[in-house]
Amino acid sequence: GYRFTDHIGAEVQYLTSLQDDEIYGAVRVNLEPLSAMTSSISALGAYAVFQGGEDAYVKVRVGFAQSEASFETDFASVSYSSADLSYGFSLGQKLGSLGSVEATYMRYPDIRVSRIDFAEDFRSDPAYNSYTTMRRDLILDVLMLGYIFQF
DSSP string, 52-102: EESSEEEEEEEEEEEEEEEEE-SS-EEEEEEEEEEEEEEEEEE-GGG-EEE
CB 17 within 8 A of CB 40: yes
Ramachandran bin of 19, using left for φ above 0, alpha for ψ from -120 to 50, beta for the remaining angles: beta
Query: Is residue 36 over pLDDT 60?
Result: yes
What's the confidence (pLDDT) of residue 96?
87
pLDDT band at 84 (very low <50, low <70, confident <90, very high): very high
Separate counts of helices (H) and strands (E) for the chain: 1, 8
Question: What are the C-alpha distances in Å from 19 to residues 16, 29, 38?
Answer: 9, 24, 10
pLDDT band at 128 (very low <50, low <70, confident <90, very high): very low
Question: Across 29-33, 106-110, 118-122, which has the greatest mean pLDDT?
Answer: 106-110
CB 107 within 8 A of CB 88: yes
What's the confidence (pLDDT) of residue 122?
62
What's the confidence (pLDDT) of residue 86?
96
What value does the mean pLDDT of the chain take? 80
What's the confidence (pLDDT) of residue 127?
45
What's the confidence (pLDDT) of residue 126?
46
Query: Is residue 5 over pLDDT 80?
Result: yes
Listed range (14-18, 25-29, 86-90, 108-112) with the worst mean pLDDT? 25-29
Could you give the 3-state DSSP secondary structure of residue 17?
A: coil
How open is the CA angle 82-88-94, to the nearest 5 degrees?
140
Question: What are the C-alpha distances in Å from 49 to residues 19, 140, 141?
Answer: 29, 20, 19
